[in-house]
Structure 1
């Protein structure tokens, strides 16, 4: 009996084992795809099986987001391109490894052992390991599905970095997406729906998801054949305005620099290189998102097409084209350069990104992302500036719309400019708006006593843009001719008055460059600030209920007033850079360009004199006729980050806007780096404006000044408190030098004595007591000082252009 039972048990085990083996080897129908890599999709298991024939051969891997989250703050947009990296499949045991070689360090030599020594010296990255499912005729089949279902784009990290919560992929709610999974001879495209599950912590993720605990997006993956070896890299020059790639070449002779820099650009060649004018072998073609509505669609097409003029100027005919994206085309497909219209819940940056061959700098795909809410901010600015835009007819929107569309044309050209290889030029505004690669503030004039919007934004490509195109895309018949020709292009540009200064020298609030800033205008920053203040004053004088449509809540009128009140913010910052400022170029030896030049004492004092107007209570006050039109917020019309902030609860705060504006100005003037530069410039030239003199001029316009008007007096008090806070901050700030701390502390010491000895009106004695108490507390307990923040300035940037973050 025991033997019989044992036999049955063995038989059942064998049967179970056989059935399990049979189940494991069972196959299901698969949809076949033929292209750069052949692959198949098995619907029953929701798997993609990739066939790998060529091992140890480079190709490009690109990841991106086909659908986004919809929050500017989180920064995960539809159409967002990730890094393009060179990879290859390598066989190791029973696996295929997807390996990313380290191209930052190379050896450009025919010596195999020298190349190998560099490869072995620096780490590579294995992106994924794939068990080999089958092998036939040296063709390996792997399951690509786990690779496609990972968070390649870093959604989890982005949510965490923005304090929106801790998330992880929920595989039960994730799947491959076949709509845009396709195969072509030079590229294969895959998509996957990924659902991220977690505990939401931030308001941003809650505001853009139906269920913030489950965030679902579609990630796109591209395997792309690398370009052939016929592309000729162009040497980068810091004066050229080009975006660069760089790497270290360890095979470089000792007497030469190891770091190699090349511009990024599309491949462009003439059909007839000897002809003065020729069509291109393959024109650069950009495609506009067909989901873009009119009249924005036409404006974007017009602006992007401006670039063709620059290519025409170097001998190309119709080499740069802009068309509508075919309906069946995938905007994430690397074969298409795309201008995409991106929606978000809040206004934010636009940007231009490129997929670049990291070996050479050749641009494979340009991808522009334009925020759809941007046009509405320019419309709002125009609405605030005009006198009674809705006085007679609520449909009288054309003047505002035309200014907004003019900005959209410029924005389109700007972002496309990044994707064809060009960096920001923030000094172009000082040379007759010579580049679309600057950030343009609307140029507003007063003509015959009226606000004139007719020249708000420039039209067409700029003269500097033609220089950048000439440098990056001109063809030459020899290496010698190229070297001489490129130098000649830059020499001519400098003699024509062009200057190129980019982000690192223009963005910092404590920046020193006198002619480079974001959102400024005019050859002279102080002169344009005078104009901006005049425009602002006239527009405020004219501001009325007719700046909104009939039956809109007066709350909307308050929102329209915000960009008008702070209309001077960017030109103020630009003017502040003359104080302790420097004029300089990215000069090279023997090029004849100015290297450095300190801004003259006269110009520095003139700039300060104009800026001090922005601390004047008469400039900062909001007329009572306007205050009377700002009731508590209407039902459901809550304040946002683009609203005025205040200290009076539901009632509009008449003083806080002035406190905010003056705090902004003082943050520029009392920047630790600017203060130190003023001290050093004075030590090198006794005629220069110095920190003590600047502070004394500020005190004359603030703490040493009295106002007879009670409203102006309250605003003046807000300015005075800000002056004291900023001086105390300088005296204690860890970034302040010892000289800045010494002079700040001395000023505070003497200021205490002057305030104590000054005669104040009875209505001002409370303020005198408060100032002395502030100074006394700081003197006794400096370690306890923290700079109390003024009401935060509403979001202003972008006015209608990017951060543009060009990848940018």
Structure 2
């Protein structure tokens, strides 16, 4: 009898729950969650171990909070981009209840009415769509609190792994719910944020090469994705309007309450909240300093280098009048890196070298940065060491020159850490900085992409000044402008304008990604991986450094006991040491200098590069086609055998070849020639050359460039040597490139016409009886005749591409944020 009574007593609560549910009265939260593990915090939740579910308690209705997903554990492929710590897009969301249902709604902050009139605000809200991320059924409630099943929402592919795999052509994958589960060690609640993590598995057929190289069973790809719900910042942050003359990322939105006489699009910068304890003081401590934490999984001596480089930013905040306002610490052992309270510098491993990123989680309403997140790829330091190895390596013993090479690599890591942290402070790239801030080598900003400054010292190369050792002058001015805390009553707009004018007076300015691409952009001083105040002079100097490196290239570039075939990996960045400076000089042709000038600010607006400088650039570019400069040293031709067993090369890190397994002596020259010709004969550059001569006959036009190109390439006497074969290859590639240009329907009409006329001229040179000694090279004649008779049937030009460049001499960013091509390291 006692046992029966005990059983009835035990079953009574569950019977009551069932009756309440049947009658339409949901049970209490306490009754429903009896026996579950409770996690109180910003959003309280319960872990139901029997069902493997997360039950979320909601007591904040119509209260906005921040939601964003993260990739907690990645797949290790730079090409796919699904890296550990990758941040997803942030969303402002709120829970809204309708009867037995709760919707998670995202308001549309792209379109607003900043007005005190509720009807004006409502008109805008109802004109544009919102987004409902999920709908939850209420299973229990108590007072103004309800309980919902959060599990199905958490099991989504929140970071977009499936489309990322598809876009990189790695197969068609889908989420397999049977192989997904909650990951409890990283599901917890904090005072300001609540975190959930799940193990998800994607399954698919025919996985691509990138996946096959990193996943143990490529048809089953398992990773962990993270979901963060974060309390929005307290009021008090003051948004700062964007100024295009100084670089800051940020937010944009339409404000339909704006008077018609004013711009409707509002632009504000992204920055951390930073306030002086005493805004009137020239130097003051911060109310709350900005603290960055380094991943303790980073090994020494890399750890110390990253902490030092990150700490450089305190120099900039000191210049802005703050004392110890920017700090760097090691992440405590008991801290969770997903906790929104920690700005994090994370060390990430991949199977191949790749990009590093500076990312931020911001408040989309105001632009305030809530959390900075840096991802540094661990293989980058090895690539920098490899470049140093090619420049100064001499393994007489296993340790000779190692300290020098390692020092350059660590110097680069310091600069890289400062660069990526700069992105998380709100700063984009400043690619004009490498021409400003110094008499010869400008180092005005760590937000530029630097290549190492290798100086000639006697008969060798000196790397002691390869990279900057501190923050740049532009970086200080940008922080002063973005983070200065003005006393009450100050006309902030006037003071900010004064800061920009003072910066300009120091010879500093800002131009970024859109101004720096080697093919389409035109500013001669704005480029990636270039050095020096004058691009042409630096190319000449770089070619000297390259020559020294090649002349001193011996088997001692690799340690004893290393397969000689691996010499090629060290050789590649030496042979192509000039590649980025060639890109920079190509922008001088048809180049235009300009600024992000505002009306009335007194800046020079736009000017064509002087004719003499353009002609110097043309001469420097044509010099890179000299066969003597392109020959591979005879030592190397005898020293790079086919790869030994189990040393298959990464095809992206060595020269492509037409000779099968053996090293192709024409592969490197063809890659270098193709690089120069592609840049010189870029259709947009050609159009600028055509147009500039129309308005100023003293300027070189495309006709002049093509004339010089043909005279340089097609004047060589018949030569059956190695250099002679490079000449013949170059002549063929010029003809093929001109055919491609003449047939490009998107190219400027005069550009196509001049390319056509140049082909007819080349035909007269190479035909039997022509002026050239290359009459025996009938392929050029055949291609031009085919172009004349049936242009649609001309085979596409085939040029061996150069091995992958960036980040061969470091770098990428803004890719996800701005939809740009790889060459950007900033995601927001």
Please indicate, yes or no, whether the TM-score normalized by the shorter chain is above 0.5. Answer: yes
For the 8 Å contact 2:294–2:345, the answer to whether it is kept is yes
Work out the CA distance in 1 between the residues paired with 2:770 and 2:307.
Answer: 64
Q: Any idea what the Cα deviations from partners look like across 1:534-554, whole Å, max 9, x if unmatched?
A: 000011001001100001011
The answer to whether 1:405 aligns with 2:425 is no
Q: Is the 8 A contact 2:719 2:725 kept in 1?
A: no
State the superposition RMSD in angstroms: 1.7
Q: Which digits, 9 at most, give the CA deviation of each residue in 1:544-584, with x for residues without a partner?
A: 01100001011111111011001100000000000000000
- Point out the more displaced range, 49-58 or 746-755: 746-755
State the TM-score, normalized to the length of structure 2. Answer: 0.93
Distance 1:404 1:398 in 2: 10
Moved more, 299-308 or 633-642: 633-642
**CA–CA separation in structure 1 for the residues paired with 2:457 and 2:642:** 36
Shift of 1:177: 0.8
Whether the 8 Å contact between 1:200 and 1:206 is mirrored in structure 2 is no
> Over residues 600-640 of structure 1, what are the superposed CA-to-partner deviations in whole Å (9 max), with x where a residue is unaligned?
11000001101111111111001212211111122222232
Does residue 502 of structure 1 match 2:512? yes
Deviations 1:42-101 (A, max 9, x none): 111111111111211110001101101110011000011111110001112321110111
| Deviations 1:744-803, CA, capped at 9 Å, x for gaps | 112212221233243555xx4431x22111111111111123432211210120122333
* 1:751 and 2:756 are equivalent in the alignment: no
The residue matched to 1:626 in structure 2 has which SS?
A: helix
Cα distance in 2, alignment partners of residues 741 and 480 from structure 1: 58
Task: Tell me by how many angstroms 1:201 deviates.
Answer: 2.7
Asked if the contact 1:288/1:325 (under 8 Å) is kept, the reply is yes
Q: Summarize the Cα distance change of 1:752–1:227 in structure 2 as closer, same or farther, 3 Å threshold.
A: same
Q: Indicate whether 1:805 and 2:811 are aligned.
A: no
Q: Aligned partners of 1:783 and 1:333: how far apart in 2?
A: 59
User: 1:778 aligned to 2:787?
Assistant: yes
Query: Matched residues in 2 for 1:270 and 1:681: separation?
Result: 52
- Other-structure match for 2:623: 613
Distance in 1, Cα, partners of 2:144 & 2:529: 59
State the distance in 2 between where 1:198 and 1:18 align. Answer: 44
Name the CA shift for 1:653/1:390 in 2 (closer, same or farther; >3 Å): same
Q: Deviations over 1:276-309 (max 9, x none)?
A: 1111010000000000001110000000000000
Q: Say yes or no: does 1:549 pair with 2:555.
A: no
2:352 is aligned with 1:346? yes
Match of 1:790 in 2: 799
Q: Is residue 776 of structure 2 the alignment partner of residue 766 of structure 1?
A: yes
Change (3 A) 1:120 1:19: closer
**Residues of 2 paired with 1:582 and 1:62: CA distance?**
42
2:654 maps to 1:643 = yes
- Indicate the SS of the match to 1:701: helix
Write the deviation string for residues 696-718 of structure 1: whole angstroms up to 9, x where unpaired: 11112212323646100111111
Question: What is the alpha-carbon distance in structure 1 between the residues aligned to residue 649 and residue 760 of structure 2?
Answer: 41
Name the SS for the 1:766 alignment partner.
coil
Distance 1:786 1:291 in 2: 52
Establish whether residue 64 from structure 1 lines up as the match of residue 70 from structure 2: yes
Q: Which residue of 1 is the match for residue 369 of structure 2?
A: 363
Aligned counterpart for 1:520 among listed residues 530, 536, 554: 530
Quick check: 2:637–2:665 contact (8 Å CA) kept in 1?
yes
Stretches of structure 2 that go unaligned for 5 or more consecutive residues are 1-13, 437-441, 814-823
In the alignment, structure 1 residue 683 sits paired with structure 2 residue 689: no
Q: Retained in 1: the 8 A contact 2:710–2:762? A: no
Contact 1:51-1:139 at 8 Å conserved across structures? yes
Aligned to 1:245: 251
Instruction: Check whether the contact 1:659–1:790 (CA below 8 A) recurs between aligned residues.
Output: yes
8 A Cα contact 2:415 2:469, kept in partner: yes
For the Cα contact (< 8 Å) 1:52–1:139, is it kept in 2? Answer: yes
Equivalent of 1:596 in 591, 600, 606: 606
Q: Retained in 2: the 8 A contact 1:408–1:800?
A: no
Between 508-517 and 357-366, the greater mean CA deviation after superposition: 508-517
What is the rounded CA distance, in whole Å, between the counterparts of 1:580 and 1:257 in structure 2? 34
Query: Is residue 103–residue 135 contact of structure 2 (8 Å, CA) maintained in 1?
Result: yes
The offset of 1:136, in angstroms, is 1.7
Summarize the alignment of residues 72-221 of structure 1 with structure 2, pairs less than 5 Å apart.
Answer: 72-221=78-227
Residue 475 (structure 2) aligns with: 465
Using the TM superposition, give the Cα deviation of residue 20 of structure 1 relative to its aligned residue in structure 2, in angstroms: 13
- The Cα offsets for residues 91-142 of structure 1, whole Å up to 9 and x where unpaired, read as 1232111011110000000000100010000011101111111222121111
- Work out the CA distance in 2 between the residues paired with 1:380 and 1:645: 19
**SS across alignment from 1:83:** coil
Runs of 4+ in 1 over 3 A off after TM superposition: 17-28, 392-396
C-alpha distance in 1 between matches for 2:551 and 2:557: 12
* Contact 1:646–1:791 (Cα < 8 Å) also in 2: yes
Cα deviations by residue, 1:307-351 (Å, 9 ceiling, x for unpaired): 000000111000000000011212122111000000001111001
Q: What SS does the aligned partner of 1:331 have? A: coil
Question: 1:451-501, CA deviations, whole angstroms, 9 ceiling, x for partnerless residues?
Answer: 111111111000000011011000112465211111111111111111211
Contact 1:726 1:787 in 2 (8 A): no
Alignment of 1:241-320 (within 5 A): 241-320=247-326
Is the contact made by 2:765 and 2:771 (CA closer than 8 Å) also made in structure 1?
Answer: no
Distance in 2 between the 1:650 and 1:771 partners? 28
Displacement of 1:450 after TM fit? 1.5
Indicate conservation of the 8 Å contact 1:617/1:715, yes or no.
Answer: yes
Q: What per-residue deviation string (whole Å, max 9, x for no partner) do you get for residues 359-409 of structure 1?
A: 0010000000000000011101111111x5212444541111111110000
The offset of 1:585, in angstroms, is 0.7
Matched-pair contact (CA < 8 Å) for 2:741–2:752: yes
Unaligned runs of 5+ in 1: 1-16
CA distance in 2, matches of 1:786, 1:441: 37
Measured after TM superposition, the shift of residue 244 of structure 1 is: 2.1
Compared with structure 1, are the counterparts of its residues 216 and 479 closer, same or farther at alpha carbon in structure 2 (3 Å cutoff)? farther
Give 2:434's aligned residue.
429
Output the CA distance in 2 between the equivalents of 1:561 and 1:473.
45
Instruction: For residue 260 of structure 2, give the secondary structure of its aligned residue in structure 1.
Output: coil
How does the TM-score come out when normalised to structure 1?
A: 0.95
